[in-house]
Amino acid sequence: MLGKLFFPSADAATGTLAAFATFWVGFLARPIGGVVFGHLGDRFGRKKALVTTMIMMGLCTTAIGLLPTYSQIGFWAAALLVLMRLIQGVAMGGEWGGAVVLASEHAPKGKGILYGAWAQQGSPAGNLLATVMWMLVALLPDSAFFAWGWRIPFLISAALVAIGLVIRLSIEESPVMKELMTEKKVVRTPIGELLRSHKMITVLAVGAGVIAIAATYDPARP
């Protein structure tokens, strides 16, 4: 789909590769988002960081549904798509880790891991909803799908973001973060503290994440 709309000047194989490269850019940006918003969350509060990442993600996803295609503005269509994917990736990197931390810190004593695991269910649930939506949109005739139908899932996401923001704004800052901020124990450079004092657990966590993604992610899923 992206190949025909944003890279039509390339042959079919090159267009497909370009579309997947655009998809990959978002993954490349995730570690950057994790570092940036992990720092901001540790300095200024989990809730503020997570509200910011949701707004970024929501605006970019909706904006993709409004992008002009290659036939309208040429190269700039692909450039704008890549930019949206980069911002999405940064937001996703901050969202994923921040949501797990917030859920864990709100958990009753001894249930932090369980609550953090539940936060991870948002991704597969979102993938399921997206798959159902694209199955419905794909029922349109090709002419309608490529003219306007492909935009529908991106535009509808705005409603989900609005609902998500209402929920997120109603959640209180985590008790752990409140205590740290009240007692003025917030670390000035959280990532520096992490790398100085928790090297081994950081390496193990990164390794486990890479293995899990490599073993379970389907690269053919758009």
Domain boundaries, the chain: 2-186
With a cut of 90, say whether residue 66 has pLDDT above it.
Answer: yes
Q: How far apart are CA 120 and CA 96, in angstroms?
A: 8
**CA-CA-CA-CA torsion sign (195, 196, 198, 204):** positive
Residue 152 burial (10 A CB sphere; 0-12, 13-18, 19+): middle
Quote the pLDDT of residue 91: 92
Each residue of 143-163: pLDDT tens digit?
A: 899 899 999 999 999 998 899
Q: How far apart are CA 132 and CA 154, in angstroms?
A: 13
* Band of residue 9 on the pLDDT scale cut at 50, 70, 90: low
With a cut of 70, say whether residue 11 has pLDDT above it.
Answer: no
Q: Which residues contact 37 (CB under 8 A, 6 or more apart)?
A: 49, 52, 53, 90, 93, 94, 95, 97, 98
* Band of residue 216 on the pLDDT scale cut at 50, 70, 90: low
Across the chain, mean pLDDT equals 83
Quote the pLDDT of residue 221: 45
Quote the pLDDT of residue 83: 92
Quote the pLDDT of residue 193: 78
Q: Which single residue is written with the structure tokens 């004593």?
A: 109
Quote the pTM value: 0.81
With a cut of 60, say whether residue 218 has pLDDT above it.
Answer: no
In total, the chain counts a number of residues equal to 222
Each residue of 185-204: pLDDT tens digit?
A: 787 887 777 778 777 887 88
Each residue of 92-121: pLDDT tens digit?
A: 888 888 888 888 888 888 888 888 888 777
With a cut of 70, say whether residue 89 has pLDDT above it.
Answer: yes
The identity of residue 66, as a single letter, is L
Report the helix count and the strand count for the chain, using DSSP H and E: 12, 0
Tell me the C-alpha to C-alpha distance, in Å, between residue 14 and each of 10, 46, 93, 146: 6, 41, 28, 19
Q: What is the CATH number of domain 2-186?
A: 1.20.1250.20
Quote the pLDDT of residue 219: 47
* Band of residue 215 on the pLDDT scale cut at 50, 70, 90: low
User: Which has the higher per-residue pLDDT, 84 or 198?
Assistant: 84
Each residue of 20-31: pLDDT tens digit?
A: 777 778 888 888
Segment 31-60 shows an average pLDDT of: 90
Alpha carbon distance, N-terminus to C-terminus of the chain: 9
Asked if 7 and 78 touch (Cβ cutoff 8 Å), the reply is: yes
